[in-house]
Amino acid sequence: MARESELLSHIYGRSAHLAAAFGSVLVGPGDDCAVVATPRGEQLLLKVDQLIEGRHFEAFPKTPVDLIARKAVARAVSDIAAMGGTPAWALAAATIPHGCPYADELFDAAARWARHWSCPLVGGDIASLGAGQAGPLLLGITIVGTPHAARGPVLRSGARPGDGAYVTGRLGGSFASERHLTFEPRLAEAARLCGALGADLHAMLDLSDGLGRDAARIAAASGVRIELEAALLPRHAGVTDWRGAAGDGEDYELLFTAAAAPPPLGTPVTRIGTVAAGSGCIIVDRGVVHDASNVGWDH
Amino acid sequence: MARESELLSHIYGRSAHLAAAFGSVLVGPGDDCAVVATPRGEQLLLKVDQLIEGRHFEAFPKTPVDLIARKAVARAVSDIAAMGGTPAWALAAATIPHGCPYADELFDAAARWARHWSCPLVGGDIASLGAGQAGPLLLGITIVGTPHAARGPVLRSGARPGDGAYVTGRLGGSFASERHLTFEPRLAEAARLCGALGADLHAMLDLSDGLGRDAARIAAASGVRIELEAALLPRHAGVTDWRGAAGDGEDYELLFTAAAAPPPLGTPVTRIGTVAAGSGCIIVDRGVVHDASNVGWDH
């Protein structure tokens, strides 16, 4: 599915002028969230994400309605966490198959999960497909958040040579284990990193497309080289190979680079590599160098 | 398609507690936009809306890509206008059929129209349906705006007995004429009404589901009765009957109630009725009383 990456590159390219043309746009498309400034100078994080039946989850009843809603909200919340922010409000847009019997339940569940992560669902749009119109269930979630008051938004572009590269939790096997439906966005961990590391926390994102591809994105955005050690990757039980940890995707763990060691987070944190001068991102497995940008998936 | 209205009522009912539970939520689901307050007290308008191929527009190439994107952005901008606000930033979420050849073009057009209405497209999500997965093109637009600095957000719930009921422009025939693809959101007119009428501008919305249904929504939200005169409805050329003006939908004109006469707006403004004590909304045609809430469509 390289096509979506190409589309996104196209969009980012066309958006490069935005910050220059609109003073209120601090960070446009291409990071986990956009960053904008209100008329009185408050910074906001803006994110939209969508979940598609048959792609991001299996059709009901294989996936319970509650977990469909949970995943849709959690993915967008995770992007707010990736910037070190706090979610504030959510909007939902649902397209539902004709005669879908659980639309009420879906919205109730989305509202419940939005409240759970302290971003009340304040608005939404709902549309039914026509009787003769085939199509999957879609649930799009927009979240508006605020960056960490002291640290400000943590971008992908701040990694510097000499940084350590770190990851929270464990990686791999998210689909097989169904963790992709029940993961906990790393809001508290991100806030703690911002508070403890401050300006030494240089770059961060949440792992959605696999460590390989996502680490390569930090390298590209920051203009640095990232060197990861396959043997250091923390793997979930059942993930037997570094490729699973680096490429399965939908881990929703934080990947960050920092000039100082991170504080205890409650959640395990592992140093998995180093930021160097140069470009590209590699994963070294017993002396063999792999291009990390080829490890992962596009979704 | 009464089902969507029922779903929305369900959602509004479940959301009634939000403002009490979250101090930052000033207006939750049920108005044209949500109104929230930032940590430092700035008010924001939040809106999400989605456009579905085969429902809100005919499939490309019958509808040009530029007009698909235009309508998606314009509908959400119109909701910001309905609150008297100014759009500030936009997000787009697109789901595109497998192999869709104009996805780049669609995003470029959305970005262009977002800039046109001064709400740069700062982020987005794009997903392709799989090769074996049928489904329509979907384009969801989120807009964040700011209310009028002096008047604040104009809600549906402020109409008072004694107000005049007014509408901008002309009504009816939006689909037949394809005006639904090319309408101009009434941003400037709404701002002028806020500036000139101030606190005398009591209630406002943009007409999307037809004057009948939409006027009934102001009556219900405000706890008043609205009495409209069929003969006073300003009709577009070719609209031969008051029912077309009141029920065709997708006019995207402003309907507002005010305690004082509106100023000149550049666009025609017509007084079409009166707000009274009581409940419900009627349209009187040569002495015959029609329930306005039955005139319109659900989309």
B194-220 pLDDT, tens digit each: 999 999 999 999 999 999 999 999 999
Instruction: Please state, in angstroms and rounded to a whole number, the distance separating the CA atoms of residues A62 and A64.
Output: 6
Test the A interface: residue of B53, B104, B125 with most A CBs within 10 Å: B125
- Residue pair A36/A126 in contact (Cβ under 8 Å)? The answer is no
CB B264 within 8 A of CB B197: no
Question: Rounded to the nearest 5°, which phi and psi values hold at B91?
Answer: -125, 150
Beta-carbon separation of B122 and A4 below 8 A: no
Contact A24 B89 (CB under 8 A): yes
Written as six digits, the tokens of A84 are: 């070190």
Average model confidence (pLDDT) across chain B:
94
Q: What is the mean pLDDT of chain A?
A: 94
pLDDT at B298: 59
Q: Would you say B209 and B295 are in contact if contact means Cβ atoms under 8 Å apart? A: no
Chain A from 96 to 155: CB within 8 A of any B CB: 103-104, 107-108, 111, 115, 120-130, 133-136, 138, 140, 142, 144, 146
What is the pairing mode between strands B225-229 and B280-285? parallel
Q: What is the mean pLDDT of residues B6-16?
A: 76
Superfamily of structural domain B12-146? PurM-like, N-terminal domain (3.30.1330.10)
* Residues B14, A299: C-beta atoms closer than 8 Å: no
Answer whether B98's CB lies under 8 Å from B131's CB.
yes
CB contact under 8 A, A128 and B24: no
In this predicted model, what pLDDT tens digit does every residue of A137-147 receive, in sequence order? 999 999 999 99
Q: Do B107 and A140 touch (CB under 8 A)?
A: no
Q: What is the pLDDT of residue B167?
A: 98
Q: Would you identify the CATH topology of the domain B164-294? A: Phosphoribosyl-aminoimidazole Synthetase; Chain A, domain 2 (3.90.650)
What is the rounded distance in angstroms from the CA atom of residue A113 to the CA atom of residue A121?
9
- Surface-to-core class of residue B14, CB atoms within 10 Å of its CB (0-12 exposed, 13-18 middle, 19+ buried): middle
**What is the structure's pLDDT at B143?**
98
3-state secondary structure B209-233: CCHHHHHHHHHHHHCCEEEEEHHHC
Q: Tens of pLDDT along B57-113?
A: 998 889 999 999 999 999 999 999 999 999 999 999 999 999 889 999 999 999 999
Reported as a pLDDT band with limits 50, 70 and 90, residue A299 is low
User: Would you place residue A15 in the very low, low, confident or very high pLDDT band (cuts 50, 70, 90)?
Assistant: confident
Question: Does the pLDDT at position B228 exceed 60?
Answer: yes
CATH code matching the domain that covers A31-146, chosen among 3.20.20.150, 3.30.1330.10, 3.30.360.10, 1.10.3720.10: 3.30.1330.10
| pLDDT (tens digit per residue) in A64-75 | 999 999 999 999
**Min Cα–Cα distance to chain A from B283, Å:** 28
Q: Cβ contact (<8 Å) for A4 and B127?
A: yes
Q: What part of B 39-58 touches A (C-beta under 8 Å)? A: 39-40, 42, 44, 46-50, 52, 54-55
Instruction: Return the domain boundaries, chain A.
Output: 31-146, 164-294
| Distance between CA atoms of residues A242 and A257, nearest Å | 20
Contact between B7 and A46 using a beta-carbon 8 Å cutoff:
no
- In Å, how far is A39's CA from the nearest CA of chain B? 9
Residues of A in contact with B10 (CB under 8 A): 104, 107
- The ipTM estimated for the assembled molecules is 0.94
pLDDT tens string A260-278: 999 999 999 999 999 999 9
The answer to whether residues A219 and A225 touch, using CB atoms and an 8 Å cutoff, is yes
Question: How much is the average pLDDT of B134-139?
Answer: 94
Phi, psi of B46 (to 5 degrees): -125, 135
Residue B2 banded pLDDT, cuts 50, 70, 90: very low
pLDDT for residue A208 is more than 90: yes
Q: Helix H segments across B16-64?
A: 18-21
The amino acid occupying position B230 is A
B19 band by pLDDT with thresholds 50, 70 and 90: confident
* Chain B interface includes A76 (CB < 8 A): no
Supply the pTM of this predicted model. 0.95
Q: Do A15 and B133 lie within an 8 Å CB cutoff? A: no
Among B36, B44, B93, whose Cβ lies nearest the Cβ of A50? B93
Set of chain A residues whose Cβ sits within 8 Å of the Cβ of B133: 54-55, 136
Question: Which pLDDT tens digit goes with each residue over A104-144?
Answer: 999 999 999 999 999 999 999 998 898 889 999 999 999 99
Lowest-pLDDT choice from A214-223, A226-235, B4-13: B4-13
Max intra-chain CA distance, chain A: 59
User: CB–CB of B128 and A4 under 8 A?
Assistant: yes
Cross-chain Cβ contact B127/A92 below 8 Å: no
pLDDT tier at B1 (50, 70, 90 boundaries)?
A: very low
Nearest residue, CB atoms, B144 vs list A29, A120, A144: A144
Per residue in B160-192, pLDDT (tens digit) is: 999 999 999 999 999 999 999 999 999 999 999
A24, A48, A133 member nearest B123 (Cβ): A48
CB atoms within 10 A of CB B135: 25
- The alpha-carbon gap from A230 to the nearest alpha carbon of chain B, in Å, equals 30
Residue A1 banded pLDDT, cuts 50, 70, 90: very low
- Residues B96, B127 contacting (CB under 8 angstroms): yes
Q: Distance between CA B225 and CA B247 in Å, rounded?
A: 19
Contacts of range A104-108, beta carbons closer than 8 Å, 24 or more positions apart: A104/B7, A104/B10, A105/A65, A105/A66, A106/A65, A106/A68, A106/A69, A106/A139, A107/A69, A107/B7, A107/B10, A107/B11, A107/B14, A108/B14
Residue of A nearest to B35 (CA): A122
